[in-house]
Amino acid sequence: MRLTVFALVALLTLTNCAEKNRSFSKADIAIVPQPLSLVLNESSFALQDGQTIFSDLDEQQSAVKDLQNYVTATTKFTLVANADKQSAIVFEKKEGLDPEAYELQVTPKKIIISATGKAGYFYGVQTLKQLLSVEATKESQAITYLIPSVAIEDNPRFKWRAFMLDDARYFHGEAFVKQMLDQMALLKMNTLHWHLIDDAGWRIEIKKYPLLTKVGAFRTDSEIGTWKSGKTSGQPHGGFYTQEQLKDIVAYAAARNINIVPEFEMPGHSSAAIAAYTWLGTAGVKIDVPVKFGRLYDNYDVTKPEVVTFIKDVLTEIFQIFPSEVIHIGGDEVGYEVWQNSKSVQKYMKEHNINTPADLQIDFTNSISKFIEANGRRMMGWNEILGKNIHTDFEEKQGDQEAEKELAKNVIVQFWKGDLELLTDAAKKGYGIVNSLHDRTYLDYSYESIPLEKAYSFDPIPEGLDKQFHKNIYGVGCQMWSEWTPTNADVERQAFPRIAAYAEVGWTTMENKNYDTFKVALKKMQKHWDTLGINYFKDSDKLEAALQAK
């Protein structure tokens, strides 16, 4: 694994001035995401070996440790824990701040990071890292580490700032996931939406159903190129995470103030599970884990009690692995034809006064929502779970069916496709919304389709939504679907640098956003990625100039 802490030296600004405690200009300040307010003062704080650091609360310790590790890795200095509040660096509790807010005061003699809880202290440290500057001259080998004198007050715009990693199509592995968590933490993103189960692979060890990983985690080949290319790699692919690995990754994320939201797709996108246990499907036909990507034929037969029991059993083990309040159930792209052609499903629907397959999905989804809620959690799903038909482009039409039943109100809806009026209507009805509109936030889309500036300009609050409903827009998710990114380097190229743009979308107020300022700060972040060997897309400026010239 490439340990980020040793590579963070690339965040430092190298200058040719060794003047101790020199003053900085605004042009020297480069922070992603842009803070709520920043006042630049005269002079600076000089970091030195053996300086003392004060903290007296448990919720401060992960931030203290992160700062100590960073300073040691980048300067070889040691910050010494001290019980004296007159220390050079002080972590201080301040009541009345929001949970993720912080205040950072830097003077020539002292640094104070104030917050009300763990998240705020941690984010104060992430900003401090980006402020640190290396001062050196060509004539001397002496190096000074300076932090500009600033007063920062900061607080995120949205409480949900997510990156989604699709591990189902291609298995990425523990080291890569931790690398992504490190980069998310530095960018103050707080949610990893982890897509672990889909047609192409089952990546979570479930002890009660061992065939899910023995069979469902492996496929004989993979479609390559693009949709319906007819080409395959000719290589088998597979992998899964043990429960011990998953718990370790959850703890790793928590130390970085990141909550992991697992996604267990239901009732569609279930081919990997049906390949393992044929009786889960509606068609009753034995299948292999699919080689081709896309929307596939069979669904869970949600009219069978044993299938519902299976789903609840899996969820119970997921609850034990992931402490997240929110559990994602997918719910997207469910093909209804297999239910329509099943005599037993049609009989069940008639007996239970369910008029359409869309209503069957709503009925099932609401029952699972109750189960999730009874276990102290909250369900989330893609916006098809509202029962609205948003797929006019499928070859296999569903008869424009829409549900008559209503989705339970305690559900979080992740909006990815359809008329924005659907999002607005859901927000007005009181649903929590995460805005992940596909043509603005899908990282698998080309840079021609979503250039960096388009990503940066995204506003999760739809135009025209009354202010009283803004609280129902929880935030933003950017999605890295991996059908056509078979290697981790491919994923990096699609995700970076756009992930930094989405981090600022989630954190920074519209009034404080400035694309030119962001691009300057991004150059510093790219040096950090260079040191890590992250394969970010390097031609954003060139591409945007070409697009503007058209």
SS (H, E, C) 478-490: EEECCCCCCCHHH
Confidence (pLDDT) at 297: 86
Task: Give 171's pLDDT tier (boundaries 50, 70, 90).
Answer: very high
Confirm if 359 and 331 have CB atoms less than 8 A apart.
no
Residue 1 to residue 186: CA distance in whole angstroms: 18
User: Rounded to whole angstroms, what are the CA distances from 158 to 154, 454, 508?
Assistant: 12, 19, 9
Residue 451 to residue 277: CA distance in whole angstroms: 42
248/387 same-domain check: yes
Confidence (pLDDT) at 14: 53
Query: Which residue, 114, 137, 154, sits at the end of a domain?
Result: 154
458/330 same-domain check: yes
Confidence (pLDDT) at 395: 46
Task: Give 296's pLDDT tier (boundaries 50, 70, 90).
Answer: confident
Is residue 328 in some structural domain? yes
**Closest C-alpha among 503, 403, 413, 430 to residue 192:** 503
Is residue 526 in some structural domain? no
191/58 same-domain check: no
- Residue type for position 32: V
255/318 same-domain check: yes
Q: Taking residues 282-299, what's their average pLDDT?
A: 94
Confirm if 441 and 478 have CB atoms less than 8 A apart.
yes
Tokens of 78: 């040691």
Confirm if 69 and 5 have CB atoms less than 8 A apart.
yes
End-to-end Cα, the chain, rounded Å: 42
Q: Looking at the predicted structure, is the pLDDT value of residue 15 above 60?
A: no
382/503 same-domain check: yes
Q: Which of 34-43, 96-105, 185-194, 536-545 has the lowest mean pLDDT?
A: 536-545
Q: What average pLDDT does the structure give for the chain?
A: 93
Task: Give 368's pLDDT tier (boundaries 50, 70, 90).
Answer: very high
User: 515-532 and 174-186 are packed helices; what angle lies between their axes, rounded to 10 degrees?
Assistant: 150
Is residue 535 in some structural domain? no
Q: Looking at the predicted structure, is the pLDDT value of residue 382 above 50?
A: yes
Q: What are phi and psi of 16, to 5 degrees?
A: -105, 30
Name the H helices within 277-356.
Answer: 305-321, 337-340, 343-351
Q: Looking at the predicted structure, is the pLDDT value of residue 6 above 90?
A: no
Is residue 292 in some structural domain? no
Q: Taking residues 96-105, what's their average pLDDT?
A: 97
39/168 same-domain check: no
Per-residue pLDDT tens for 474-508? 999 999 999 999 999 999 999 999 999 999 999 99
CATH number, residue 354: 3.20.20.80
71/150 same-domain check: yes
Number of domain units in the chain: 2
Phi/psi region, residue 52 (left: phi>0; alpha: psi -120 to 50; beta: rest), is beta
* Sign of the dihedral defined by the CA atoms of residues 37, 42, 48, 50, in that order: negative
Letter string b/e over residues 129-139, b meaning 16 or more CB atoms within 10 A of that residue's CB: bbbbbbbbeee
Confidence (pLDDT) at 2: 35
Residue 408 to residue 390: CA distance in whole angstroms: 19
Residue 267 to residue 364: CA distance in whole angstroms: 9
Q: Looking at the predicted structure, is the pLDDT value of residue 393 above 70?
A: no
Enumerate the β-bridge partners of residue 204: 241
Query: Which residue, 123, 154, 185, sits at the end of a domain?
Result: 154
182/105 same-domain check: no
**Long-range contacts of the stretch 106-114 (C-beta < 8 A, 24+):** 106/44, 106/45, 106/131, 106/147, 106/148, 106/149, 106/150, 106/151, 107/41, 107/43, 107/45, 107/149, 108/21, 108/43, 108/44, 108/45, 108/46, 108/149, 109/45, 110/45, 111/45, 111/147, 113/63, 113/89
Is residue 209 in some structural domain? no
Query: Which residue, 85, 119, 154, sits at the end of a domain?
Result: 154
Enumerate the β-bridge partners of residue 135: 15, 144
**Closest C-alpha among 300, 306, 353, 288 to residue 329:** 300
Tokens of 190: 């707080």
Residue 341 to residue 355: CA distance in whole angstroms: 14
146/187 same-domain check: no
Confidence (pLDDT) at 550: 73
The strand pair at 80-82 and 52-54 is best described as parallel
Is residue 288 in some structural domain? no
Is residue 24 in some structural domain? yes
140/174 same-domain check: no
44/63 same-domain check: yes
Pseudo-torsion of CA 513, 163, 152, 254, nearest 10°? 170
Pseudo-torsion of CA 53, 183, 526, 446, nearest 10°? -160
**Closest C-alpha among 384, 378, 380 to residue 357:** 384
Per-residue pLDDT tens for 115-134? 999 999 999 999 999 999 98
179/82 same-domain check: no
Helix (H) or strand (E) holding 145: strand 143-154
Residue 250 to residue 253: CA distance in whole angstroms: 5
Q: Which residues contact 467 (CB under 8 A, 6 or more apart)?
A: none
Q: Looking at the predicted structure, is the pLDDT value of residue 455 above 70?
A: yes
Is residue 390 in some structural domain? yes
DSSP characters for 44-80? EEEE-TT-EEE--SGGGHHHHHHHHHHHHHHH---PE
CATH number, residue 128: 3.30.379.10
Per-residue pLDDT tens for 322-363? 999 999 999 999 999 999 999 999 999 999 999 999 999 999
Residue 370 to residue 328: CA distance in whole angstroms: 14
Task: Note down the domain range covering 10.
Answer: 4-154
